[in-house]
Amino acid sequence: MIPTLEWLPEGVNFLDQTKLPLEETYVLATDYKQVATVIRDMIVRGAPAIGVSGAMGVAIGIDRSTAATIADLTAEVALICDLLASTRPTAVNLFWGINRIRELYNTLAAQPGASIAAIKQAVVAEARRMYDEDIAACKQMGAHGAHLLPKQGTVLTHCNAGALATCGYGTALGVIRAAIEQGHNIDVLADETRPFLQGARLTAWEMMKDNIPTTVICDNMAASLMHAGKLQAIVVGADRIAANGDVANKIGTYGVAILAKEHGIPFYVACPWSTIDLATPNGDAIPIEQRAAIEVTHHGGKQLTPNGVGIENPAFDVTPARYVTAIITERGVLRQPYGEALQGLEAATASAR
């Protein structure tokens, strides 16, 4: 079990993903401000993990509060949620995670005779439940999606949509793990994923922990390997999926999707339902985080570029729905047209509740 994040009595403990693969160290966040810093600095990253981290951030903020009245606590909750929501803009799971605890808080706080102690207990329990649900959702994605992967072959993934991007097991890498557990003979090809190198550092690290044969390539090598017939499927995660099926994911995903289409290779997206944002009509409406130039200009303290050159560093891009062969969720596998498929599965799940 890869300990991406964990609720402990003393705080939320995060595996420091900026230090992998060479160091396995932890950052203990003992208040919500520290959780916000952990998310902003990408000590934890990956949309589902960020979602649960946001929930745990609100929960720890409420739990550690010294407010003496519900009114004071409510005011504090607003500040807590605002800070956590300001950390990263693209992954909708963050807002989903924050809002789920906030809504529970609002419901409990509005009840006659609401007790601060009982509220604290309830929000912490809810955040911890979301952790368990996230792992269960990953396992379900695996169960639904494993048959899509080849019985024998190489599967390319971009960035890290694994145990390290979730509370465990992974979304895209969860589907790969499930296929392997079902007897598929799969090699993983990991795009290194510049500039933050989540593929080279994180996907490679967690695949090797599980003894899954893995090869790292530079992002710009995928096309020639596709041309040579060296990979049979692609599976990636997502940071937000709009109502029409457009997929925001790590920068470079869109390019991989175009290459997949050009070579007739299936391109799958795996994510929990909390990544789906039916309130956002299409990819153009998804905010794309721009990160600091230093992620591109430097590595390991060494400067790569000449002083003063311009730099672009968008952290995500949008893959139009037409490039996506299927979307794998814990509720099932969706196919085009995604607008109808997403609405249908949302309605079916709501009516089944």
Q: Do residues 20 and 201 make contact, with C-beta atoms less than 8 angstroms apart?
A: yes
CB of 160 to a copy of itself, least distance (A): 13
50 token code pair: 């960020």
Our finding on whether 286 is near a copy of itself (CB under 8 A) is no
> CA-to-CA distance for 309 and 115, rounded, in angstroms?
57
Q: Do residues 329 and 348 make contact, with C-beta atoms less than 8 angstroms apart?
A: no
Give the contacts of 94 (CB within 8 A, at least 6 positions apart).
39, 47, 50, 51, 53, 54, 84, 85, 87, 88
CA angle (94 as vertex; 93, 95 as ends), nearest 5: 90
Q: Do residues 123 and 58 make contact, with C-beta atoms less than 8 angstroms apart?
A: yes
245 token code pair: 């099926």
152 token code pair: 């024998």
Stretch that binds a copy of itself, among 25-33, 111-119, 216-224, 333-341 (CB under 8 A): 216-224
Name which of 172 and 204 has its Cβ closer to a copy of itself: 204
**Which parts of 291-320 interact with a copy of itself (CB under 8 A)?**
296-297, 299-306, 308-314, 317-318
Sign, CA torsion 311/36/17/251: negative
Among 192, 246, 277, 330, binds a copy of itself (CB under 8 A): 192
Give the number of other CB atoms < 10 A from CB of residue 42.
19
**Which parts of 159-188 interact with a copy of itself (CB under 8 A)?**
none
CB of 128 to a copy of itself, least distance (A): 30
Maximum pairwise Cα distance, the chain: 68
Name which of 191 and 277 has its Cβ closer to a copy of itself: 191
Our finding on whether 22 is near a copy of itself (CB under 8 A) is yes
CB of 202 to a copy of itself, least distance (A): 9
CB of 300 to a copy of itself, least distance (A): 3
Which of 2, 274, 326, 270 is closest to 141 using CA atoms? 270
Name which of 106 and 152 has its Cβ closer to a copy of itself: 152
Among 204, 234, 270, 286, binds a copy of itself (CB under 8 A): 204
> CA-to-CA distance for 145 and 269, rounded, in angstroms?
10
CB of 171 to a copy of itself, least distance (A): 20
**Which parts of 219-278 interact with a copy of itself (CB under 8 A)?**
219-225, 227, 251-252, 254-255, 258-259, 261-262
CB of 126 to a copy of itself, least distance (A): 35
Q: Can you tell me which residue has the tokens 């790569």?
A: 304
Our finding on whether 218 is near a copy of itself (CB under 8 A) is yes
Stretch that binds a copy of itself, among 26-34, 201-209, 265-273, 334-342 (CB under 8 A): 201-209
Our finding on whether 24 is near a copy of itself (CB under 8 A) is no
Q: What is the set of active-site residues?
A: 239
Our finding on whether 214 is near a copy of itself (CB under 8 A) is yes
22 token code pair: 């060479």
Residues paired with residue 334 on neighbouring β-strands, in sequence order: 327
Stretch that binds a copy of itself, among 2-10, 33-41, 55-63, 202-210 (CB under 8 A): 202-210
Q: Do residues 213 and 206 make contact, with C-beta atoms less than 8 angstroms apart?
A: no
Give how far the C-alpha of residue 214 lies from the chain's centroid of Cα atoms, to the nearest Å. 21
CB of 168 to a copy of itself, least distance (A): 19
Task: Enumerate binding residues for a copy of itself (CB under 8 A).
Answer: 21-22, 191-195, 197, 200-201, 204-205, 207-208, 213-225, 227, 251-252, 254-255, 258-259, 261-262, 296-297, 299-306, 308-314, 317-318
